């Protein structure tokens, strides 16, 4: 078995140029394959991390996102008085009434306008979202025109940085602090005081009410109470579920795009591998004959050539994956079709993706090498020896 | 002529290998053209927009409305001859998967402003008369099998409730580049209902569509309108329809860039395959090259043979790919017409495909040529395999 492996490896080495070219074709395909998976994964991870399992978000029935939703003050007060809401150590009820609006802001690098979410919120919102940590500056004073910007906004948008000024809603807002939300969707938001935001944007309604359940299992009871109340036309869902839904369309789009692209590209690369392997078989006819004459069986020859092409696939797979891993340094920032607001997410490499990618490259190697290997194993000893 | 024959003979000496190489180039070129076309489809809305139409929206962002009272004030601006208005409705037909654009518009001025939506005069009359009427594009109606007189219910996301509409008109595009997948209905229907259910949201307009008398006046009119509402409760941003559309596309710029990058990756994959074929071919023919050298052909003549062969192979693949691109685009259009209403292969992508295969053909030959030139006759003749 070891001799076999050695034989395959030496063959690849002898035809270095061909090996490099074939493997680099495969590496490119693997790169695209891994990168799209990483992108879809990064998007999902960002939105999953945004929600907390025991938080419940309440929005108007039928509205898909917070931006479309509207909850009147009276209705919000009813939700606030639900018995299932947890309270903080100081005895404060863990519920926030928030308003989300989209505002067009220019990007730092291109100056192009994109939609950024501004969240009018209350001071204790940080207690509900422990993943958010202020990293620079200070917290805004309640009731002021001060704002707290997510780290992704601070980097990418004009006026979003510390001590910079934003102009929107005919008002100047001072960014007094930056928070880091651990790669969650909140990183792409700017937070201000809810009452000030409501006034500035002249919207007399909240967008959502979010509360923390005292007991994570109470969701159904709370939901029944909210959705059964004739005064409210609201719906409640877990925050995790809500944010997952927000990314569904986009993640699906990325997946379909990625899969159809790699399917087509891999055809090209597999044909490349096939060409290489056929040539490899053709030039080694005499060698094959000799091996057979020495007593190596057909199965042995088949395995040797399959192994060679699997190795080829593996080299391509590892190279592709190596370069794809660097993509993790990149952050993609684009509009989420569903919420229509800017969202930043990273290419995320997981063990699962690594495995899938390597498997994919092996499959490519196998498919490309199968027919040539079969041809090699079917050669008649006499004919093969005569070819030399 | 003899040279060309020799080149073809060489290229197809290994018929199976040549076939595989060409097949792989065909696939690559096909993928390249399709990707370019997808990018083009993204920009189709921009290309279809008219230079003599402006769009006014709230300066804060598109989700904020403007008061209805702005209509008359916009009309008073010099150079404006037509004002229509509308709201994005964002309704869902049965399931979220069935996405199509649907909005409320003031129908009379809208149809006047958008002459590219062609309605038969009978249907136009019926559509204008019935407040609950809606008009749908030909492709949209065909997709869901709607016929004139059918009642269609949309579930509102921005405006809560179930909304019933009657199909009174099916429009056609004046040219191929007109989007035939839209759904529009009477703004009054929306507004009158809101007056009853949510009076605070009534009499508000999502965007104004403005026709100017002369496209040259656009920039003056734009400034004049924005000046009119400066420092008011709802400031406006007015831009040409083209800029408005471009603004939307710029927001998803990262994705377009990614597709663009990937479309060039496929060219490199192609390069790897062709270069590999050429490397193998020239390796096998080292002996022949040595003989040619013995006969007195210089290194460059042999290089020319290799380059010519490589270019022939890659151009064969390119032509096959381009030929297949048209039927493929048709299939694509049928399958994904709802997402990409306009999906036409552009001449520029074909030119790019041709240029890149030419480049691939030449680049792929570089290393083999270097080797062929460098080889010494005695070594070449001695070498086996």
Q: What is the pLDDT of residues A318-331, one digit of tens each?
A: 999 999 999 999 88
A347 and A260 in a single domain? The answer is yes
Q: With 90 as the cut, is the pLDDT of residue A282 above it?
A: no
3-state secondary structure of B83: strand
A142 and A77 in a single domain? The answer is yes
Taking Cα atoms as reference points, which of B206, B202, B219, B225 lies closest to residue B110? Answer: B206
Q: How far is Cα A357 from Cα B178, in angstroms, rounded to an integer?
A: 41
- Nearest Cβ partner of B160 from A60, A201, A332? A60
Q: With 80 as the cut, is the pLDDT of residue A241 above it?
A: yes
A70 and A176 in a single domain? The answer is yes
Nearest CA distance, A70 vs chain B (angstrom): 9
A30 and A73 in a single domain? The answer is no
A328 and A372 in a single domain? The answer is yes
- Nearest Cβ partner of A272 from B35, B237, B272? B272
The model's confidence at residue A77, banded by pLDDT at 50, 70 and 90, is: very high
Does residue B201 contact residue B193 with C-beta atoms inside 8 Å? no
Give the mean pLDDT of chain B. Answer: 90
Per the structure, how many domains does chain A have?
Answer: 2
Mark which residues 57-76 of A lie under 8 Å from B by CB. 60-64, 67-68
A19 and A80 in a single domain? The answer is no
What ipTM did this prediction achieve?
Answer: 0.81
- What DSSP designation does B68 have? T
Within a domain: residue A167? yes
A184 and A307 in a single domain? The answer is no
Within a domain: residue A106? yes
Find, in chain B, the residue whose alpha carbon is nearest to that of A114.
Answer: B251
Within a domain: residue A227? no
A318 and A369 in a single domain? The answer is yes
What's the domain range around A288?
A: 2-48+246-387
The model's confidence at residue A370, banded by pLDDT at 50, 70 and 90, is: very high
| Contact yes or no for A17 and B60 at CB 8 A | no
pLDDT recorded at residue B45: 77
Question: What are the DSSP E strand ranges found in A239-350?
Answer: 331-336, 341-346
A72 and A12 in a single domain? The answer is no
pLDDT recorded at residue B338: 66
- Establish how many alpha carbons lie within 13 A of residue A319's alpha carbon, considering only the half-sphere containing its beta carbon: 17
Neighbouring residues of A343: CB distance < 8 A, sequence distance ≥ 6: A43, A46, A185, A188, A333, A334, A335, A336
Q: With 90 as the cut, is the pLDDT of residue B151 above it?
A: yes
pLDDT tens-place string over residues A32-55: 999 988 988 898 888 888 888 999
User: Over B122-156, what HEC string results?
Assistant: HHHHHHHHCCCEEEEEHHHHHHHCCCCCCEEEEEC
CB of A246 less than 8 A from some CB of B: no
Which run of H or E residues covers position B292? Answer: helix B286-294
A197 and A253 in a single domain? The answer is no
Angstrom CA distances, A231 to A85, A326, B241, B255, B356, stand at 20, 53, 43, 43, 65
Give the mean pLDDT of chain A. Answer: 89
pLDDT recorded at residue A133: 92
A28 and A63 in a single domain? The answer is no
Please state the rounded mean pLDDT for residues B24-47.
88
Within a domain: residue A217? no
pLDDT tens-place string over residues B159-179: 988 999 999 999 999 988 888
Q: Which residue has the higher pLDDT, A291 or B187?
A: B187
Find, in chain B, the residue whose alpha carbon is nearest to that of A113.
Answer: B247
CB of B200 less than 8 A from some CB of A: yes
Q: Which residue has the higher pLDDT, A388 or A103?
A: A103
Does residue B338 contact residue B18 with C-beta atoms inside 8 Å? no
Contacts of B247 in chain A (CB under 8 A): 112-113
The two three-digit tokens of residue B69, written as one number: 């009272």
CB atoms within 10 A of CB A93: 15
DSSP output for A90-118: TS-B-EEEEEEEEEEEEBTTT--EEEEEE
- Nearest Cβ partner of A62 from B31, B156, B252? B156
A170 and A318 in a single domain? The answer is no
pLDDT tens-place string over residues B120-145: 999 999 999 999 999 999 989 998 99
Final residue in a domain of this structure, among A212, A229, A263: A212
Find, in chain A, the residue whose alpha carbon is nearest to that of B367.
Answer: A17
Final residue in a domain of this structure, among A212, A236, A265: A212
Report the relative pairing of strands A189-193 and A146-150 from DSSP bridges.
Answer: antiparallel
pLDDT recorded at residue B96: 80
CB of B94 less than 8 A from some CB of A: no
Nearest CA distance, B114 vs chain A (angstrom): 26
Q: For the stretch B95-122, what's the b/e string if a residue is b when 16 or more beta carbons lie within 10 angstroms of its beta carbon?
A: eeeeebebbbbbbebbbebbeebebeee
CB of B158 less than 8 A from some CB of A: yes
Within a domain: residue A236? no
Within a domain: residue A231? no
Within a domain: residue A260? yes
Does residue A272 contact residue B276 with C-beta atoms inside 8 Å? yes
Nearest CA distance, B38 vs chain A (angstrom): 11
Please state the rounded mean pLDDT for residues A201-227.
91
Please state the rounded mean pLDDT for residues B218-241.
91
pLDDT tens-place string over residues A93-135: 999 999 999 998 898 988 888 889 999 999 889 999 988 999 9
| Percent of chain B residues past pLDDT 70, beyond the cut | 98
Final residue in a domain of this structure, among A160, A189, A212: A212
Mark which residues 126-165 of A lie under 8 Å from B by CB. none
Within a domain: residue A218? no
């Amino acid at each position: 078995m070891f001799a076999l492996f050695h034989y395959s490896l030496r063959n690849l080495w002898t035809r270095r140029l061909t090996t490099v070219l074939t493997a680099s074709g495969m590496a490119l395909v693997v790169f695209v394959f891994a990168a799209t998976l990483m992108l879809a994964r990064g998007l999902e991870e960002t939105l999953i991390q945004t929600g907390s399992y025991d938080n419940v978000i309440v929005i108007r029935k039928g509205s898909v996102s917070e931006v479309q939703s509207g909850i009147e003050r009276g209705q919000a007060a009813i939700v606030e008085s639900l018995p299932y809401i947890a309270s903080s150590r100081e005895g404060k009820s863990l519920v926030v009434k928030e308003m989300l609006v989209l505002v067009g802001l220019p990007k730092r690098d291109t100056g192009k306008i994109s939609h950024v979410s501004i969240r009018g919120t209350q001071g204790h919102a940080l207690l509900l979202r422990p993943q958010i940590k202020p990293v620079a500056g200070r917290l805004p004073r309640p009731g002021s025109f001060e704002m707290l910007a997510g780290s992704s906004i601070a980097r990418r948008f004009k006026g979003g940085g510390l001590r910079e000024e934003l102009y929107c809603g005919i008002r100047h807002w001072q960014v007094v602090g930056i928070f880091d939300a651990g790669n969650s969707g909140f990183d792409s938001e700017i937070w201000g005081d809810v009452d000030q935001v409501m006034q500035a944007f002249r919207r007399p309604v909240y967008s959502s009410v979010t509360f923390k359940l005292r007991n994570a299992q109470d969701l159904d009871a709370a939901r029944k109470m909210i959705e059964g109340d004739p005064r409210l036309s609201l719906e409640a869902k877990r925050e995790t579920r809500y944010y997952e839904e927000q990314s569904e369309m986009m993640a699906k789009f990325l997946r379909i795009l990625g899969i159809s692209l790699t399917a087509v590209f891999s055809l090209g690369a597999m044909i490349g591998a096939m060409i290489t392997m056929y040539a490899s078989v053709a030039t080694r006819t005499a060698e094959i004959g000799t091996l057979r004459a020495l007593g190596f069986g057909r199965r042995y020859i088949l395995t040797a050539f399959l192994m060679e092409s699997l190795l080829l696939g593996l080299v391509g797979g590892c190279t592709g994956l190596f370069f794809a891993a660097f993509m993790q340094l990149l952050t993609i920032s684009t509009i989420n079709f569903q919420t229509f607001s800017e969202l930043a997410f990273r290419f995320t490499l997981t063990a699962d993706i690594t495995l899938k990618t390597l498997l994919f490259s092996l499959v490519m190697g196998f498919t490309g090498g199968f027919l040539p290997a079969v041809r090699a194993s079917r050669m008649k000893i006499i004919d093969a020896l005569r070819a030399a | 002529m003899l040279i060309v024959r020799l080149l073809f003979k060489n290229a197809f000496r290994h018929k199976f290998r040549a076939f595989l190489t060409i097949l792989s180039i065909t696939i690559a070129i096909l993928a390249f053209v399709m990707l370019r076309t997808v990018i083009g489809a993204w920009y189709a809305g921009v290309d279809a927009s008219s230079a003599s139409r402006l769009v006014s929206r709230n300066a804060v962002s598109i989700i904020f409305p403007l008061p209805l009272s702005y209509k008359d004030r916009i009309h008073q601006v010099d150079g404006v001859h037509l004002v229509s208005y509308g709201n994005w409705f964002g309704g869902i037909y049965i399931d979220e998967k069935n996405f199509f654009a649907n909005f409320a518009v003031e129908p009379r001025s809208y149809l006047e402003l958008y002459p590219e939506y062609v309605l038969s005069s009978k249907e136009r009359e019926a559509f204008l008369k019935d407040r609950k009427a809606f008009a749908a594009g030909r492709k949209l109606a065909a997709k869901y099998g709607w016929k004139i007189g059918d009642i269609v219910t949309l579930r509102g996301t921005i405006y809560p409730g179930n909304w019933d509409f009657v199909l009174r008109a099916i429009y056609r595009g004046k040219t191929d580049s007109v989007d035939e997948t839209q759904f529009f209905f009477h703004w009054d229907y929306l507004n009158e209902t809101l007056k009853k259910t949510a009076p605070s949201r009534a009499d508000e307009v999502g965007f104004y569509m403005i026709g100017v008398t002369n496209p040259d006046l656009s920039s003056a009119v734009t400034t004049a309108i924005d000046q009119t509402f400066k420092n008011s409760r709802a400031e406006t941003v007015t831009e040409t329809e083209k800029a408005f559309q471009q603004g939307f596309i710029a927001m998803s710029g990262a994705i377009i860039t990614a597709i663009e990058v990937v479309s060039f990756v496929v060219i490199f994959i192609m390069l790897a395959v062709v270069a590999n074929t050429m490397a193998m071919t020239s390796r096998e023919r080292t002996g022949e090259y040595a003989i040619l050298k013995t006969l007195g052909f210089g290194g460059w003549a042999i290089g020319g043979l290799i380059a010519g062969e490589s270019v022939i192979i890659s151009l064969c693949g390119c032509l096959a790919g381009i030929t297949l691109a048209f039927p493929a685009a048709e299939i694509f259009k049928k399958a994904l017409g709802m997402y990409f209403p306009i999906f036409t292969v552009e001449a520029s992508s074909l030119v790019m495909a041709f240029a890149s295969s030419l480049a691939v053909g030449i680049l792929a030959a570089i290393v083999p040529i270097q080797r062929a030139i460098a080889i010494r006759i005695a070594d070449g003749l001695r070498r086996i395999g």
